[in-house]
Amino acid sequence: MAGLDHLLERNRRWAERVRIANADFFNNLSREQHPNYLWIGCSDARVPANEIVDLEPGELFVHRNIANVIVHSDMNGMSVLQYAIEVLGVQHVIVCGHYGCGGVQAAMGHAQLGLIDNWLRHIKDVYLAHGAELDAIADETQRLNRFCELNTLAQAANVARTPIVQNAWARGQSVQVHAWLYCLSDGLIRDLDVSLSGEAHLAAIHRMAAPTSGGRER
Ligand code: CO
């Protein structure tokens, strides 16, 4: 661990501080987790999930990737979503983008960046769907920030479209999908006031009937 001793030392001091404040903290937490929220955020180092909503370890189930993209063919994202909803029983899925997102900015540009271009393509699809609105914004920063909002709204919709969420609704499990935007310059979250909580929030083309019994191994 040459070169990283300072991090291990910080870890020891943190664990000690937590133990002093609550002697049973790690004992209790090591037995089980009961988070009520799934956080889907950007990997950006400036948007640390637990810290910005001031939650303790154990309170937030977290998935982060570049530009908080949710794609049905991404086994990682889908596995996190399935575990969070079907095993942990989270009631709220928060898709939290952030203004000034580098991934969204790259998707707005035309440079070829390598492997990541395949990931950013999903964000370009969001631009295509809102091209008229975005093209009409002359100021580049404002256009980027609106694109960040539209991307987050689109990814929240993608969460709701999955069979995982639709089957939860069909079972009567309460699951709400929210879209938030974090502002790097003041540390505040803006709620885009979206709460997808049932089939009525899906376009007809995305609605899927629950599988018939025996059609799905459980
Ligand atoms: Co970002």
Domain contains 213: no
**Rounded-to-integer distance, Cα 28 and Cα 33, Å:** 9
Q: What pLDDT shows up at residue 184?
A: 98
The catalytic position among 63, 96, 101, 161 is 101
Same domain, yes or no: 9 and 74: no
Averaged pLDDT, 69-87: 98
- Span from the CA of 124 to the centroid of ligand 1 (angstroms): 15
Is 6 considered catalytic here? no
Q: Range with the lowest mean pLDDT among 143-152, 158-167, 202-211?
A: 202-211
Is 135 considered catalytic here? no
By CB neighbour count within 10 A (0-12 exposed, 13-18 middle, 19+ buried), where does 202 fall? Answer: middle
Q: What pLDDT shows up at residue 33?
A: 87
Q: What pLDDT shows up at residue 158?
A: 98
Q: What pLDDT shows up at residue 213?
A: 62
- Span from the CA of 172 to the centroid of ligand 1 (angstroms): 34
Domain residues for the domain of 2 are: 1-31
The catalytic position among 10, 46, 121, 207 is 46
- Span from the CA of 104 to the centroid of ligand 1 (angstroms): 7
Percentage of the chain exceeding pLDDT 70: 97
3-state secondary structure 29-92: HHHCCCCCEEEEEECCCCCCHHHHCCCCCCCEEEEEECCCCCCCCCHHHHHHHHHHHHHCCCCE
- Span from the CA of 1 to the centroid of ligand 1 (angstroms): 29
Whether 214 shows a pLDDT value over 70: the answer reads: no
Same domain, yes or no: 44 and 146: yes
Q: What pLDDT shows up at residue 133?
A: 98
Same domain, yes or no: 86 and 1: no
Whether 2 shows a pLDDT value over 80: the answer reads: no
- Span from the CA of 211 to the centroid of ligand 1 (angstroms): 36
Whether 67 shows a pLDDT value over 60: the answer reads: yes
- Span from the CA of 27 to the centroid of ligand 1 (angstroms): 35
Angle at 174 between CA 172 and CA 176, to 5 degrees: 140
Is 44 considered catalytic here? yes
Domain contains 138: yes
| Phi then psi dihedrals of residue 154, to 5 deg | -65, -40
The catalytic position among 6, 19, 34, 42 is 42
pLDDT digits (tens, 9 = 90+) for 7-65: 999 999 999 999 999 999 999 999 988 999 999 999 999 999 999 999 999 999 999 99
Domain contains 211: no
Whether 200 shows a pLDDT value over 60: the answer reads: yes
The catalytic position among 63, 96, 98, 148 is 98
Averaged pLDDT, 191-198: 95
Is 64 considered catalytic here? no
Domain contains 216: no
Same domain, yes or no: 21 and 127: no
- Span from the CA of 57 to the centroid of ligand 1 (angstroms): 23
Q: What pLDDT shows up at residue 216?
A: 53
pLDDT digits (tens, 9 = 90+) for 98-117: 999 999 999 999 999 999 99
- Span from the CA of 110 to the centroid of ligand 1 (angstroms): 18
Distance of CA 158 to the CA centre of its chain: 11
pLDDT digits (tens, 9 = 90+) for 117-151: 999 999 999 999 999 999 999 999 999 999 999 99
CATH of the domain at 191: 3.40.1050.10
Is 5 considered catalytic here? no
Q: How many residues does the chain have?
A: 218
Same domain, yes or no: 70 and 99: yes
How many Cα atoms occupy the beta-carbon half-sphere of 122 within 13 Å?
19
Q: What pLDDT shows up at residue 212?
A: 76
Whether 1 shows a pLDDT value over 60: the answer reads: no
